[in-house]
Amino acid sequence: MGLRLVADAAYPFDYSKLPAGVGAVAGYVGGDTPHVWTPAEIAAVKATGRQWWGIWTAPSTGEVLTSRQGSNDGADMASALNRIGYPKTLPVFYDIEQGTWNASPAGARAAISAWKTALHAAGWASAYAYVPLAAGFDWIADWTGRAPETLPTGVIGQQWAGNQDGDTYDLSSFTDTLFGDDMALTAAEASELANAATFAAAACTRAQALQAQVAELQAAVAALAKQVSGIQTGGVDPVALAQAIAAHVKLAAD
């Protein structure tokens, strides 16, 4: 059993900045988070050849968690995962921040247990909590700055580096058994990317057409200025000039 790198982030970022060997990017599907990842953002990760893993964040204001909170979060996460077609073969995570854990480790454990029960019942066998180092199980936070060579018993991942590349992502090492088979883009995800590419191509074509129109208008303005100068010296027919101006106004309106 080996270890593989995983990045986690609140928001999408430049995946070309990731170190070699990152096999998955984890993001949020809901809960107490500033950003829920969209299907298009998830598809963009998968288009790089990496997996995308889903996280749900428990209330992070330092309140005491309960089994009811865990059950509710588990049901809500399962619904969110089903909406985006998240594979049952991939792991899911319950984010318990340091302040929330410290408020009541017993309450946090009860919430985690209830959350896992809900996710297991919904079909996700690989359901784990993200917890402080002191908890000692599942996915632990221990920012040593160096990737671990092994993980303690009962631990499936260690977040060992945070705030990478200008605070855009954190790095963890996970047991490679969590990866399973790499999942190809679903039809819906491929459609999201195709729509985005089509929109970008159309926008580029329109921009090029507008640039050509601008150049034509600039030439027209220069010609009109020359004709106006000719009127002032008596060398231009005013009727012909009026017709030219009308034509240029129509070009600008188009």
The DSSP string of 190-244 is HHHHHHHHHHHHHHHHHHHHHHHHHHHHHHHHHHHHHHHHHHHTT-S-HHHHHHH
pLDDT bucket at 203, cuts 50 / 70 / 90: very low
| DSSP character at residue 180 | -
DSSP string, 58-96: PP-SSPPP-HHHHHHHHHHHHHHHHHTT--TTS-EEEE-
pLDDT value of residue 46: 96
Closest by CA to 102, choosing from 60, 74, 138, is 60
pLDDT bucket at 253, cuts 50 / 70 / 90: low
Listed range (47-56, 97-106, 177-186, 196-205) with the worst mean pLDDT: 196-205
pLDDT value of residue 180: 76
Mean pLDDT of the 193-210 span: 55
Do 135 and 97 meet the contact criterion of CB atoms below 8 Å apart? no
- CA–chain centroid gap for 47, Å, is 12
pLDDT value of residue 230: 64
Q: Give the tens place of pLDDT for each residue, 141-156.
A: 999 999 999 999 999 9
Mean pLDDT of the 157-186 span: 86
pLDDT tops 50 at residue 206: yes
pLDDT bucket at 182, cuts 50 / 70 / 90: very low
Mean pLDDT of the 133-145 span: 97
Question: Token match 């002032």: residue?
Answer: 232
pLDDT tops 70 at residue 124: yes
pLDDT tops 90 at residue 11: yes
pLDDT bucket at 114, cuts 50 / 70 / 90: very high
Do 6 and 157 meet the contact criterion of CB atoms below 8 Å apart? yes
pTM of the full predicted structure? 0.72
pLDDT tops 70 at residue 162: yes
Dihedral class, residue 234 (left if φ above 0, else alpha if ψ from -120 to 50, else beta): left
Q: How far apart are CA 244 and CA 247, in angstroms?
A: 5
pLDDT value of residue 106: 98
pLDDT bucket at 246, cuts 50 / 70 / 90: low
Closest by CA to 119, choosing from 62, 54, 183, 25, is 54
pLDDT bucket at 19, cuts 50 / 70 / 90: very high
- pLDDT exceeding 70 applies to what percent of the chain? 71
Q: How far apart are CA 139 and CA 217, in angstroms?
A: 62
Encoding tokens for residue 114?
Answer: 């209830």
Encoding tokens for residue 50?
Answer: 């990496």
Mean pLDDT taken over the chain: 86
Q: How far apart are CA 133 and CA 173, in angstroms?
A: 14
Bridge-based pairing of strands 22-31 and 51-57 is parallel
pLDDT tops 60 at residue 219: yes
Encoding tokens for residue 154?
Answer: 């009962």
Encoding tokens for residue 28?
Answer: 């949020």
Q: How far apart are CA 1 and CA 153, in angstroms?
A: 13
From residue 23, alpha-carbon distances to 45, 137, 189 in Å are: 10, 22, 19
